[in-house]
Homo-oligomer: A and B are copies of this chain.
Amino acid sequence: MPSDIEIAQAATLRKILPLAHERLGLPEDSLVPYGHYKAKLSLAHIAGLQDRPDGHLVLVTAITPTPPGEGKTTTTVGLGDALGQIGKHAMVCLREPSLGPCFGMKGGAAGGGHAQVVPMEDINLHFTGDFHAIGLAHNLLSALIDNHVHHGNALGLDVRRITWRRVVDMNDRALRQITVALGGPGNGYPREDGYDIVVASEVMAILCLATSLADLKRRLGNIVVGYTAAKQPVRARDLKADGAMAALLKDALAPNLVQTMEGTPAFVHGGPFANIAHGCNSLIATRTALKLADYVVTEAGFGADLGAEKFIDIKCRKGGLKPACAVLVATVRAIKHHGGSGLEGVAALEAGMANLRRHVENVQQHLGLPTVVAINQFTQDTPQELAAIAQACADLGVRCVLANHWAHGGAGATELAHAVVQLCEAAPPRRAEVYADELTLDQKIEAVARKIYRADGVRFEPKARQQLAELQAQGWGGLPVCIAKTQYSFSTDPGRLGAPEGHVLPVRELRLNAGAEFVTAICGDIMTMPGLPKAPAAERISVDDAGRISGLF
Contacts and interface: CB of A to CB of B under 8 A. Distances in A.
A542 interface: yes
Contacts of A33: 33-36
**Among the interface residues A150, A170, A247, A248, which one has the most CB atoms of the partner chain B within 10 A?**
A247
Given A129-B129, A168-B139, A547-B213, A174 B187 contact: yes
A340 interface: no
Q: How many copies does the complex hold?
A: 2
A438 B399 CA distance: 79
Interface stretch (A470-478, A499-507, A528-536): A528-536
A188 B129 CA distance: 30
Interface in A539-553: 539-547, 549, 551-552
A177 B168 contact: no
Given A44-B546, A241-B538, 18 more contacts: A32-B36, A33-B34, A126-B132, A126-B251, A140-B170, A142-B172, A146-B174, A174-B187, A177-B183, A177-B187, A178-B178, A178-B179, A243-B539, A243-B541, A244-B538, A244-B542, A247-B552, A250-B543
Question: 3 nearest interchain CB pairs?
Answer: A243-B542, A177-B183, A132-B132
Interface string A144-162: 1011001110000000000
Contacts of A174: 143, 146, 150, 180-181, 187-188, 193
Interface residues of A, number: 77
Contact of A187 (B168, B173, B187, B549): B173
A327 interface: no
Contacts of A217: 542-543
Interface of A: 32-36, 43-44, 99, 103, 125-126, 129, 132-133, 136, 139-140, 142-144, 146-147, 150-152, 168-183, 186-188, 193, 212-214, 217, 240-244, 246-248, 250-251, 531-534, 536, 538-547, 549, 551-552
Given A214-B545, A538-B144, A183 B176 contact: yes
A187 B182 contact: no
A240 B540 CA distance: 8
Contacts of A151: 533-534
A541 B182 contact: no
Given A125-B248, A179-B179, A531-B147, A538 B240 contact: yes
Contacts of A187: 173-174, 176-177
Contacts of A212: 545
11 contacts: A99-B136, A125-B248, A136-B169, A142-B172, A143-B171, A173-B188, A174-B187, A177-B183, A179-B182, A217-B543, A247-B551
A532 B147 contact: yes
Contacts of A147: 172-173, 531-532, 536
Given A187-B174, A244-B541, A247-B542, A133 B143 contact: no
Contacts of A143: 103, 170-172, 174, 532
B549 A250 contact: yes
A240 to B, nearest CB: 4
A212 B543 CA distance: 12
A250 B125 CA distance: 11
A185 to B, nearest CB: 11
Given A36-B32, A177-B187, A539 B139 contact: no
Nearest to A135: B132
A29 B540 CA distance: 31
A44 B547 CA distance: 9
A35 B32 contact: yes
**Among the interface residues A36, A136, A150, A181, which one has the most CB atoms of the partner chain B within 10 A?**
A136
Contacts of A532: 143-144, 147
Contacts of A240: 538-539
Contacts of A247: 125, 541-543, 549, 551-552
A223 to B, nearest CB: 15
A536 B147 CA distance: 9
B170 A181 contact: no
B178 A180 contact: yes
B531 A150 contact: yes
Contacts of A536: 144, 147
A7 to B, nearest CB: 18
A171 B178 CA distance: 19
